[in-house]
Amino acid sequence: MAAAAAGSGTPREEEGPGGEVAASQPQAPTSGPGARLSRLPLARVKALVKADPDVTLAGQEAIFVLARAAELFVETIAKDAYCCAQQGKRKTLQRRDLDNAIEAVDEFAFLEGTLD
């Protein structure tokens, strides 16, 4: 069975002791001790969501998606601000780098005037 799968482009399976079949590629842990899928503390994100009077219920999946979206947003604006710092021949981000990134990138237009 493993020889037939090897040439077909599918992941190769190996038979272990006892006859069970195990995939040769490790699977990413989805839960369990030490598995951290979000860098932001979900309890804090949930507290921020609940601070909105229009929100009555927020499921764990929604909290996780909001946390992940916030992480991606911070990563994106930080990279763009770092590019502005590099143009100024610096490695340290300054507030003016964030201002320049907000002005230069159309997707950040909603932030104009918020850092004043």
Contact yes or no for 11/24 (Cβ under 8 A) = yes
Q: What is the pTM of this model?
A: 0.63
Compute the mean pLDDT over every residue in the chain, rounded to the nearest whole number: 79
Q: Is 105 exposed, middle or buried (0-12, 13-18, 19+ CB in 10 A)?
A: middle
Q: Which domains does the chain have, with CATH numbers?
A: 42-111 (1.10.20.10)
Structure tokens at 76: 């994106």
Mean pLDDT of 48-67: 95
Residue 116, pLDDT score: 73
Confidence of residue 2 (pLDDT cuts 50, 70, 90): very low
Q: How many CA atoms lie less than 13 Å away from 93 in the CB half-sphere?
A: 13
Residue 14 host element (H or E): strand 13-15
